[in-house]
């Protein structure tokens, strides 16, 4: 196998591992807590956890479906008021990058 093929194989293994971890998160319902750990929340928001961040909102959220039902524009305004981000997409993007770095051990 050439050096390029070995590198591709390594990347492939990493992608497979990340996929497996993401699937496990989906299965155990702890995905938001994993993507938004307390260290992220205290650095970027006025809440210690994502759960507390949502509990402090005006919405009553006790399930994924209820969270998904929050109007996007209204949640974006809430995020802009309570975080260092302009909207939820920006917050989620930063959290996703940091989650990926943690998964890769960076």
76 assigned to some structural domain: yes
93 assigned to some structural domain: yes
86 assigned to some structural domain: yes
20 assigned to some structural domain: no
Greatest Cα-to-Cα distance within the chain, rounded to the nearest angstrom: 58
Rg (CA), the chain: 17
Residue 8 has pLDDT above 60, yes or no: no
38 assigned to some structural domain: yes
80 assigned to some structural domain: yes
CA atoms of 47 and 102, how far apart (whole Å)? 21
Q: How many domains are contained in the chain? A: 1
13 assigned to some structural domain: no
Range of the domain at 93: 31-104
User: pLDDT (tens digit, 9 = 90+) per residue, 13-68?
Assistant: 666 665 565 555 444 446 788 899 999 999 999 999 999 999 999 999 888 888 88
Indicate the pTM of the whole model.
0.70
């Amino acid at each position: 196998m050439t050096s390029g093929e070995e590198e591709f194989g390594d990347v492939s293994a990493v992608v497979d591992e990340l996929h497996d971890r993401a699937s496990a998160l989906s299965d155990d319902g702890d995905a938001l807590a994993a993507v938004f750990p307390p260290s992220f929340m205290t650095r970027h928001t006025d809440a210690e956890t994502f759960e507390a961040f949502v509990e402090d909102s005006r919405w009553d959220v006790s399930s994924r479906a209820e969270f998904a039902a929050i109007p996007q524009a209204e949640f974006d305004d809430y995020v802009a008021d309570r975080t260092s981000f302009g909207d939820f997409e920006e917050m989620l993007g930063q959290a996703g990058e940091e989650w990926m770095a943690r998964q890769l051990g960076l």
